Structure 1
Amino acid sequence: MNEQTALRVDVAETTAPVLQKEYRSGVHAKRQDDDGGWGLVLIGLDAPPRIVSLMDGAVIGSAARDGRIEGQGIAPEHAKISVRSDGCYIEDMDTHDGTWVNGVRARRIGVMHGDVVRLGHQLGVFVERHLALYDGAPSRLGPLVFGSKQRKDWIDPVMKLVQSGSSVCIEGAPGVGKRTLARLAAAVREGLGETLVIDGSAETKPAIPPGARPMTWLVLDADRLPRPQQLEIAHSVGRSNGVSIIATTGQPLDRAAGDGRVAPWFASLFSGKRITIPTLEMRREDVPLIVRDIAERNAIGLDRFTPQLLEALVRAGWPGGVPQLESAIVTAAQAAPDGPLSVTPIAGSLARGPRVKPNLPPATDPSLARARLEDALARANGSVASAARALGMSRQAIYREADRLGLDIARRRVPRG
């Protein structure tokens, strides 16, 4: 990896006293909030994630009192954190190994929620809110591997809904584990009666047995299922008591309904019970856990992963999800049977494509516009700056849209998982 140096133009510091207020970046300058504060989630292959809480003026290093981080290449006083009205900044303190943010070696650079920070050989993900939710041992459910926050955000909610007898729609991009989670959730109801699996992605038209009355409908890729089959399932559910549907969609259910891929009466069966599995790019703290699992299953030694390679794997977008990540790791291992794995054979997989501005809802549909803005803020953990990047909008445009829709995002809090 070529070394680059980024020096952001310093904005004049304000001399006014800092009050206990929340900055628009989502970072609190002088206090820890009730949601668990902000800071770094330290990640790696040899240890579970752990959190380091930060405050304005905190010094990070192996001898620091505020942000103590130990490890190879970390100086006693390695970097300093400062929070200003335009965001949070990290400044390297003239260290040998440097401070890296999103693959760029920086003297002083702004950081936002989800940015990947490397100090020496130690990787971390910068988190602006709910830092305490990231603290905890990683878990496994079948083939799914996930950290503490993800368990609280989407694993536990899906299982609780299914155990209570509710129907649930699991949304997510390819390869994030939604079909696996749906099958695991359906297994919870095996004792109640038959489970009928309908796969909308099958090459042939899925057939529903005449007179089928299962207690659980497992509808995979429901947004690709023909509408007549959706209607048939809806009628069957309406004629029986205690029947649940566990469905998956490759896009948000409201968008699928708006695009005509899901019939409104089928979507209404979920009564708003939708759980979204975020992409790997949105849960970067889980990537080392998944990489370790892939390495163990493919007999690849963990000592072959350099800090630079792991950083590149964490930073990549992975639009194909876990299968794409596994393919890249196996390819790198095959290209170098012995010794450290190289970035070169998988550089194409690591490259992140250009950010495409999504199709925004029309101004004539305020309810859908509000739902999508709320969804973007939830995915960004409440950070306006991160939500703006995801939507391809400026922060000012986000605030104008929120004002138009009557959404108070200045004091908005993301609910706990």
Structure 2
Amino acid sequence: MPMRSKPGKQPLILIVDDDEAHRKLFAEVVHSLGLRVAEAGSADEAWHRIADEHPGLILLDVRLPGKSGLEILPDLKKKYPDIPIILITAYGDVREAVEAMKIGAVDYLLKPVDLEELETVILDHVGRGEELATKSRLPPLPPHVVCVSAAFQKVLETAYLVAQSDAPVLILGPSGSGKEVVARLIRDWSSRREGPFVAANCAGLPESLIESELFGHVAGAFTGATADRMGYFRAAHGGTLFLDEIGELPLSVQAKLLRALETGEIIPVGSEKPVRTDFRLLAATNRNLEEFVKTGRFREDLYYRINVVELTVPPLKERREDILPLAEFFGRQFARQPVRFSPQAMAALLSYHWPGNVRQLRNAIQRACLLAQGNIILPEHLPPEVAALASSGHEATQECEEGRLSAVERATILSTLAECGGNRTLAARKLGISRRALIYKLKALEALSPPSGGDQSR
């Protein structure tokens, strides 16, 4: 048992529970860890204790007199974003717990609480408020965006920082990895959030009409131009212009784009009069623009003008923690109900290299939902190239011995946890490992509390 530290030298743990017996039991655990304790029996009392003592961690029961723990959680996180909150529920409703984690809880426990697990959770999170506040300054993500992996988290943290300015941003990454999702988040986090978001796919614009599409034209500028056309640049006035596949722009149009960025003016086709427009440029490409510059396919001056800030969205194979949360979201979307993946199907999804990235995953899950005609996804419902990687779950464990988790082990852990209603103690028993070992593996997965992700295929 850890030795107690001197009073006042350790963080304060606030226990919010209307059951006095539970409060006293939890308080003993906290005391045994050498930490200080405060108690509250209701939401109102909790608010007063937090304001007076600013605890280092809150154990928050769901069922409270008056307002419930779930009802006060968003307000608590808004007012005290640096205080970690652990949700405690007696009903074993994992959906409720996951929902709480999406709006701010850092962990959850199910009653009856395993006291050893309570100790572990407290030690995992106590004193981490300042670290968590500085580690990620992201606002709550919209429900259609998955960010479980550390790789994608870093991209979004940078995107949030650059969103505060009007500097051009160049978003790099393979096709289907989610470049437009990042671009839209930058707009949503910027001062131009109320303005238009105009997206143009440069690769999809006819070369003969690309200038007209981008810069507009006046009536009579060419055959068929019977009326004035505004164009994408003017349509984005006061907002954000997103040029996808910017590497496909012809050199002649690149020169016009450079002028627009430098002067804030465009000249519609068939006109000699410049038109001022106020826009913020976000550009994206899956091409190597540096190579394009060397070979003369892209203007060097334009490259440096649009590349004030560069973001690289990693391919899905480099952010595997996002695969299952994305698959679950797409499954709900296409099946119109929650779907479950068999351990073998999860193993296949995690093992496949996904050359088409999130877009390919989305298509694979759509196919699976059509073939399954229910809410259970099996390997045979997945595309053949993905289903071929399914396994019975009895692979060699060399990867695990080296400190990594095999795809099958990942799938087995997640499936067992789901079967046990989120109870990690019971899941550990079924898996034949210690509870602490399971918690360690869940940390490695970074998938204990995946948000309800969404379509990042653009």
The TM-score, its normalising length taken from structure 1, stands at 0.47
Larger Cα Rg: Structure 1 or Structure 2?
2
Higher strand share: 1
Higher normalized helix content (fraction of residues): 2
TM-score, reference length from structure 2: 0.43
